[in-house]
Structure 1
Amino acid sequence: MKGYTKQQLALRNGQDKPEIWVAYKGIIYDVSISRLWKNGKHYEHWAGQDLTEELEDAPHTANVFLKFEPIGQLI
């Protein structure tokens, strides 16, 4: 799996580049197909970030990431 830095992830925020990516536990997921991530925002969360710590407060579990393709590792 290809490695990406936090800076590279930050560019995939749905605004700087067309891709919408988020990271969770070191894995980067492409959430571009999700209507819930339109324009790179999901409620109070922004794409292009590591959401590992923020998931603790989410109304869903980490299983939500099973819907999305893992495209790389956060290095």
Structure 2
Amino acid sequence: MRIFEFENTFMQTYSKAQLAKRNGQDRDEIWIAFKGKIYDVTDSRLWRNGTHYEHWAGQDLTEELTAAPHTALVFERFEVVGMLED
């Protein structure tokens, strides 16, 4: 585990395996990753039970966004809770 500075705040890094546990099934947290940042989407009604259309929480969705009907600006409303390890 590493600590990473993001916007003057120190953030924990998480592995893909750790992110996968935050899928809305194994734990209460529902997290997704996009461009290295991990977002908490737990309170979003669009991510209930860890799914959003054909997308599953607990994953890096960077490449999948190219097919989404929205831009990356949608992530601005969610809290960044960590950084995804390379």
Q: What's the TM-score, normalizing by structure 2?
A: 0.87
Correspondence 1:20-31 to 2 at 5 A: 20-31=30-41
Q: Which has the higher contact order (CA 8 A, sep 6+)?
A: 1
Q: When the two structures are aligned, how many residues end up with a matched partner?
A: 75
After superposition, give the CA deviation of every residue in 1:4-61 in whole Å (9 maximum; x if it has no partner).
Answer: 0000000000000000000000000000010000000000000000000000000000
Q: C-alpha displacement at 1:74, in angstroms?
A: 0.2
Q: TM-score, normalised by structure 1?
A: 0.99
Matched with 1:69 is 79
In 1, Cα distance between the equivalents of 2:13 and 2:75? 18
CA distance in 2, matches of 1:64, 1:7: 25
| Alignment root-mean-square deviation, CA | 0.3
1:57 alignment partner, one of 67, 70, 77: 67
Percent of aligned positions that are identical: 69
Instruction: For structure 1, list consecutive stretches of 5 or more residues without a partner in the other structure.
Output: none
